[in-house]
């Protein structure tokens, strides 16, 4: 089973995405701050993290660096509701993202991007 960490300061968005992923057999924890996400990652290994770029106190780029230090094998998809797609693609790529999404999130698109990012790594068994 895949284990995903969803991080966005929009609580309703991450709670809804986690529920929809769970209905499709993907286990997802969610956090609304970078600090909360780091606490989850300190006690559990995730295959992938979906990170909002713009969050208060700790943005997705800074959080990605910290999560990568804890779990170098973790894959990352960045999420944003701001900026042009071209600017975002360049920024996400430079930050080491495996993919990106622009809000609003389509659940089928998210699942396709998760599957693409994880297709080359074995999934943990629990």
Which DSSP category does 56 fall into?
S
Tokens 């068994």 belong to 125
Q: Across residues 83-90, what is the average pLDDT?
A: 69
Residues 106-120: tens digit of each pLDDT: 999 999 999 999 985
pTM: 0.88
Q: How far is CA 126 from CA 26, 46, 105, 118, in A?
A: 12, 12, 28, 17
At residue 120, the pLDDT reads 55
Q: What is the pLDDT of residue 1?
A: 85
Beta strands in 19-126 (DSSP E): 27-31, 48-52, 75-80, 99-102
């Amino acid at each position: 089973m895949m284990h995903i960490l969803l991080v966005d300061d929009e609580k309703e968005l991450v709670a809804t995405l986690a529920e929809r992923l769970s209905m499709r057999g993907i286990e997802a924890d969610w956090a609304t701050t970078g600090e909360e996400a780091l606490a989850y990652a300190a006690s559990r290994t995730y295959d992938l993290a979906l990170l909002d770029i713009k969050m208060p106190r700790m943005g997705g780029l800074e959080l990605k660096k910290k999560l990568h230090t804890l779990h170098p094998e973790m894959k990352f998809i960045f999420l944003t509701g701001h900026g042009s797609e071209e600017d975002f693609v360049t920024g996400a790529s430079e930050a080491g993202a495996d993919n990106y999404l622009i809000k609003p999130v389509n659940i089928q698109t998210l699942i396709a991007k998760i599957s693409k990012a994880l297709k080359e790594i074995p999934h943990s068994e629990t």
